[in-house]
């Protein structure tokens, strides 16, 4: 580590410097607090070791100014005039440690080793946080359409609260991704996020998955099991496909939401939990309530903040952004061409499987493109798909091939310009053509900026 020692007693500073350098640290020494501040402005230090009493400014004042200027620099305060009040004040002002003179240099070496371990752990946590943000933050939620902007705005607002959220959207629209984003942008981000698919667990086992069981609760219960709610304590639980939950389980879930407590299967002890619930449904729960398939009281408990994800066909302007995002993801930095007519066909296709289907289509097309590096329509859109055939037939009409091509190019350019918010370079990239070609096409078709 880079260490700065601020102390006017050379008999202490010189041997301490030698021992710290022998331990592998880079050490700079100064004789007063003002010079220490000057050095800190010139370069960053991992740790400052300062005497309490020095010419110029005191070690306590130096500590306060370091804390104001750099949150990454650790400070060890040493003094020959130690009191409990001084120690408390130093720690309150952000000192990493407080050491009385005389001390053994080996003690300082050991303290620096602990600080070094702490800084390494802090850096690893920051890297993990960055990875979580990259995976679950907005940068992985692709979309510039008005509908998606509204979704992002609501997520940012609701993430700061503790309110339960009900996400409604068709399969493949990214409900779990939104749930992750809500959790990782919330004050609970450092606590567990526990997902559970209600459709993926048999009805007879769902209560066990949610609440756990005690040993001997049933024939195969050979040991105690902790359920999802207990594991999510302090954090968030994501209940996907909540519309598939049986009525019997709905009653017990309602109690947890109302009372914030439950018992494990076969248990008698009441377990208190602090959990935020984010639920997702692929159908309208309001309609399910009217049809008697879902409890009305549970519906209102879950949908404190309702959030609807639009289907991909409702936001076609986002398709070029998603296509090129997945091309970069699966193309492994190789350049692939998506021709304008192919992109236009993708924008008119209804994508019943939504973003998940589009992602699979791009991955499949890249796998089949080989060395040609051209993504073809027959690979992106499955031949024979009745919805694709219907869309193509409706789009064709009674016109010449040239008219159809021109109309497709005009619409593709307009969509790309809207998706790129008027930036021609970005629009050209989305279309897979050069900026010069885009300008020529716009001039040819009379498309205004």
- Measure the CA–CA gap between 322 and 362, rounded to whole angstroms: 10
CB 276 within 8 A of CB 187: no
- Measure the CA–CA gap between 380 and 360, rounded to whole angstroms: 9
Residue 131's pLDDT is 63
Residue 386's pLDDT is 41
Q: What is the 3-state secondary structure (H, E, C) of the chain?
A: CEEEEECCCHHHHHHHHHHHHHCCCEEEEECCHHHHHHHHHHCCCCEEEEECCCCCCCHHHHHHHHHHHCCCCEEEEEECCCCHHHHHHHHHCCCCEEEECCCCHHHHHHHHHHHHHHHHHHHHHHHHHHHHHHHHCHHHCCCCCHHHHHHHHHHHHHHCCCCCEEEECCCCCCHHHHHHHHHHCCCCCCCCEEEEECCCCCHHHHHHHHHEECCCCCCCCCCCEECHHHHCCCCEEEEECHHHCCHHHHHHHHHHHHHCEECCECCCCCEECCCEEEEEECCCHHHHHHCCCCCHHHHHHHCCEEEECCCHHHCHHHHHHHHHHHHHHHHCCCCCECCHHHHHHHHHCCCCCHHHHHHHHHHHHHHHHHHHCECCHHHHCCCCCHHHHHHHHHHHCCCCHHHHHHHHHHHHHHHHHHHCCCCHHHHHHHHCCCHHHHHHHHHHHCCCC
Across 364-368, average pLDDT? 87
Closest Cα to residue 3, out of 23, 20, 27, 21? 27
- Measure the CA–CA gap between 260 and 99, rounded to whole angstroms: 47
Q: Average per-residue pLDDT in the chain?
A: 84
Domains and CATH numbers, the chain: 2-127 (3.40.50.2300), 137-310 (3.40.50.300), 314-445 (1.10.8.60)
Residue 404's pLDDT is 58
Residue 392's pLDDT is 45
- Measure the CA–CA gap between 203 and 176, rounded to whole angstroms: 21
- Residue 393 — very low, low, confident or very high, per pLDDT cuts 50/70/90? very low
**Can you give the pTM of this predicted structure?**
0.60
Highest mean pLDDT: which range of 112-116, 220-224, 382-386? 112-116
Q: With H, G, I as helix, E, B as strand and everything else as coil, classify residue 98.
A: strand
Residue 103, judged by CB atoms within 10 A of its CB (0-12, 13-18, 19+), counts as: middle
Interacting residues of 271 by C-beta distance below 8 A, sequence separation 6+: 230, 261, 262, 263, 264
pLDDT tens digits for range 65-82:
888 887 788 999 888 876
User: Which two three-digit tokens encode residue 204?
Assistant: 């007879």
- Measure the CA–CA gap between 76 and 111, rounded to whole angstroms: 9
pLDDT tens digits for range 121-161:
777 766 655 665 566 556 567 887 888 888 888 988 899 99
Cα-flanking dihedrals φ and ψ of residue 165, to 5°? Answer: -125, 135
pLDDT tens digits for range 264-323:
888 888 999 999 999 999 999 999 999 999 999 999 999 999 999 999 999 988 898 889
DSSP 262: E
- Residue 196 — very low, low, confident or very high, per pLDDT cuts 50/70/90? very high
Q: Is the dihedral of CA 348, 353, 355, 359 positive or negative?
A: negative
Across 180-188, average pLDDT? 91
Q: What is the CA radius of gyration of the chain?
A: 31
Across 231-239, average pLDDT? 96
Cis amide leading into 102 (omega within 30): yes
Q: How far is CA 221 from the centre of its chain?
A: 37
Across 367-391, average pLDDT? 66
Residue 385's pLDDT is 47
Closest Cα to residue 349, out of 309, 393, 410? 393
């Amino acid at each position: 580590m880079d260490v700065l020692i601020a102390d006017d007693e050379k008999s202490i500073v010189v041997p301490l410097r030698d021992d710290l350098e022998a331990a592998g640290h880079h050490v700079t020494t100064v004789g007063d607090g003002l010079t220490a501040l000057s050095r800190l402005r010139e370069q960053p230090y991992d740790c400052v070791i300062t005497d309490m009493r020095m010419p110029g400014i005191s070690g306590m004042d130096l500590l306060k100014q370091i804390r104001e200027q750099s949150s990454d620099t650790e400070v060890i305060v040493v003094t020959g005039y130690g009191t409990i009040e001084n120690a408390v004040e130093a720690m309150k002002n952000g000192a990493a440690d407080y050491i009385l003179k005389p001390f053994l240099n080996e003690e300082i070496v050991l303290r620096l080793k602990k600080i070094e371990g702490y800084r390494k752990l802090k850096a690893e946590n920051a890297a993990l946080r960055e990875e979580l943000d990259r995976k679950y933050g907005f940068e992985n939620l692709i979309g510039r359409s008005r509908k998606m902007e509204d979704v992002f705005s609501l997520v940012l607002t609701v993430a700061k609260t503790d309110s339960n959220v009900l996400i409604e959207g068709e399969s493949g629209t990214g409900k779990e991704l939104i749930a992750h984003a809500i959790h990782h942008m919330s004050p609970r981000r450092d606590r567990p996020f526990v997902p559970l698919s209600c459709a993926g667990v048999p009805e007879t086992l769902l209560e066990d998955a949610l609440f756990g069981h005690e040993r001997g609760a049933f024939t195969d219960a050979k040991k105690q099991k902790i359920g999802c709610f207990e594991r999510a304590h302090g954090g968030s639980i994501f209940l996907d496909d909540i519309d598939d939950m049986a009525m019997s389980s709905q009653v017990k879930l309602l109690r947890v939401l109302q009372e914030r407590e439950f018992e494990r299967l076969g248990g008698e002890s009441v377990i208190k939990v602090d959990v935020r619930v984010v639920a997702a449904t692929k159908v309208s729960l309001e309609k399910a309530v009217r049809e008697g398939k879902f409890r009305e009281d549970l519906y209102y408990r879950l949908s404190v903040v309702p959030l609807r994800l639009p289907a991909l066909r409702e936001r076609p302007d986002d398709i070029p952004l998603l296509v090129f995002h997945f091309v970069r993801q699966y193309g492994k930095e190789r350049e692939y061409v998506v021709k304008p007519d192919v992109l236009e066909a993708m924008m008119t296709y209804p994508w019943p499987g939504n973003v998940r289907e589009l992602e699979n289509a791009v991955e499949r097309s890249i796998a089949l493109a080989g060395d040609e590096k051209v993504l073809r329509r027959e690979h992106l859109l499955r031949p024979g798909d009745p919805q694709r055939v219907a869309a193509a037939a409706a789009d064709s009409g009674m016109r010449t091939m040239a008219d159809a091509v021109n109309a497709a190019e005009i619409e593709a350019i307009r969509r790309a310009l809207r998706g790129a918010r008027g930036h021609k370079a970005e629009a050209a990239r989305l279309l897979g053509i050069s900026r010069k070609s885009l300008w020529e096409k716009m001039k040819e078709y009379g498309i205004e900026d």
